[in-house]
Amino acid sequence: MHAESDERTGDSAAGQEAELGSRAPEFIKSRRTLHLSWQVGVFVVGLAVVVAGVLMLVLPGPGWLVIFAGMAIWATEFVWAQLVLRWTKRKVTEAAQRALDPKVRRRNIILTTIGLVIVAVLLGVYLWKFGFVMPWKIDE
């Protein structure tokens, strides 16, 4: 127990490594067969959630949110999932900080405005040419 507290007070790299690994209860980790069964269960549950999220990418539902929830389930037991979630969190944080940059924000507003103007012009041309008629009711 004392060595574990020493690892947590180390430098930041050692502190991050101390966080990696299984978060299973100690009585499960102490028995190899039980721990392996626990890992298989966590993997199967996480896989089911990730597959549901992938299906929600093409069907209605919050696909990406469910995929990340499955990754979080995996991250309770597997180091590779913990590393993927750390990388994803870092990239999302960087993107959010970039989006708050005044130059990037101004560019995004300009591009959005241009896109809306193009859509409005195309809609205006459609209404001018066909009137307010749905495409499947055009007689020509």
Q: What is the DSSP letter of 61?
A: S
Q: What is the mean pLDDT of residues 12-30?
A: 62
Is 6 in contact with 18 (CB distance < 8 Å)? no
pLDDT score, position 116: 97
Q: How far apart are CA 74 and CA 51, in angstroms?
A: 13
CA atoms within a 13 Å half-sphere pointing along the CA-CB vector of 47:
6
pLDDT score, position 66: 92
pLDDT tens-digit profile of 126-138?
Answer: 888 877 766 666 5
What values do phi and psi take at 9, rounded to 5? -95, 5
| pLDDT classification of 13: cutoffs 50, 70, 90 | very low
| Category of 22 on φ-ψ map: left (φ > 0), alpha (ψ -120 to 50) or beta | beta
Assigned token pair, 105: 């924000």
Q: How far is CA 90 from the centre of its chain?
A: 11
pLDDT tens-digit profile of 29-86?
Answer: 777 888 788 889 889 999 999 999 999 999 888 888 999 899 989 988 888 888 988 8
The answer, yes or no, to whether residue 110 has pLDDT greater than 90, is yes
pLDDT score, position 11: 45
Q: Report yes or no on whether pTM surpasses 0.85.
A: no
